[in-house]
Amino acid sequence: MSEKSLHLRLGIIVSLFALFLVFYAIPSFVFAPSNVRNIILSPVFWPYVLAGLTGTIGLGLVFNALTSAPDTPFDDEESVHPEGSAPWMRLAALAVIMVLVMFGLPRLGMVWTAMLAFAACAFLFRTRHPIVAVICAVVVPLLLYAFFAHVAGVAIPQGNFVRLP
């Protein structure tokens, strides 16, 4: 399979999935009360944004496949670089992180647990930018907490040990 045909197939599938979300799944399964004043706080806004982004990515893949150079063979990384049991060990470590997140949520709260889980996953997958990963692990959950707790007025689960303002 060539990279061009892979992009074309993935682009078509992703675009069709986005259409399925927009025309069937979101209207059928996401309930939106009529008294929501702010569109950003509506339960249907973000699913439509994600569906739109999904469709845009799918169309980008199709466009890339149609305008790219002639077919070049696609090298499968597994056949070129066999890693042995390392992928299975990473999968097991990710499962351990997920279990620790479930135990950490009631004790540490959502924000602190998300920080630790983000950093653990970044180092588990050996990021090329560890400093940026640590900064994002701290800043992104804090910004999300600030938005949802102080702007949107949504209660974010706090832990037993540390409480955010």
The pTM of this model reads 0.59
Please calculate the CA angle 117-120-125 and round it to the nearest 5 degrees. Answer: 125
Domain region containing 139? 82-151
Domain total of the chain = 2
Same domain, 141 and 88: yes
Same domain, 62 and 21: yes
Same domain, 95 and 143: yes
Same domain, 56 and 102: no
Do the domain assignments include residue 156?
no
Which of 47, 77, 107 is the C-terminal boundary of a domain? Answer: 77
Same domain, 136 and 112: yes
H helices of the chain, in order, are: 3-20, 26-29, 45-67, 77-80, 86-108, 110-124, 130-146
| DSSP bridge pairs for 73 | 2
Q: Which of 10-14, 74-78, 98-102, 161-165 has the lowest mean pLDDT?
A: 74-78
**164 token code pair:** 């955010």
Burial of 141 (0-12, 13-18, 19+ CB in 10 A): buried
- pLDDT, tens digit, for every residue of 66-102? 998 776 665 555 555 566 788 889 999 999 999 999 9
Do the domain assignments include residue 144?
yes
Do the domain assignments include residue 122?
yes
